[in-house]
Amino acid sequence: MSEELKNMQVMIGGRSYPLRVKPQDVEAIKGVVLQINEKFSDFQLTYVNKDKQDWLAMTLLTYAVENHKLHNSESSAENIGDRIDQLHSMLDDVLK
């Protein structure tokens, strides 16, 4: 049986968006929306001569860069783990 989805409205940059989400995701989504609106407000105050589309684009770019950095650091950690395994194997071979 598929999981029931909950209807919710979020407000981003002064516009309302309807969402259908898993009940366990509601609080996380509220937190993310709060962060997005805070970043959006920061850009509004910093770049007063821009419009909403520019502020939204800059907000999106900020989170995309953070996501990219996080993804790359996870990949680097996996590569380090693989390299440690290789070195461990080489040491085992030498010590045998």
- Distance between the two ends of the chain, CA-based, in angstroms? 55
Q: Which residues of 40-62 are buried (b: 16+ CB within 10 A; e: fewer)?
A: beebbeeeeeeeeeebbebbeee
| Average pLDDT, integer, range 2-7 | 86
In this predicted structure, the answer to whether residue 17 has a pLDDT above a threshold of 90 is yes
Kindly tell me the number of DSSP H helices and DSSP E strands found in the chain.
2, 2
Query: Does 26 reside within a domain?
Result: yes
Domain of residue 59: give its range. Answer: 6-95
For residue range 35-80, list pLDDT tens digits in order: 999 999 999 999 999 999 999 999 999 999 998 888 887 666 667 7
Query: Does 25 reside within a domain?
Result: yes
| Average pLDDT, integer, range 68-95 | 75
Element (H, E) at 10: strand 6-12
Tokens read off for 22: 């898993």
The total of structural domains in the chain comes to: 1
Query: Does 44 reside within a domain?
Result: yes
> If you ran DSSP here, which 8-state letter would residue 51 be given?
-
| Contact predicate 12/24, CB 8 Å | no
| Contact predicate 4/21, CB 8 Å | no
Query: Does 12 reside within a domain?
Result: yes
Query: Does 1 reside within a domain?
Result: no
Query: Does 33 reside within a domain?
Result: yes
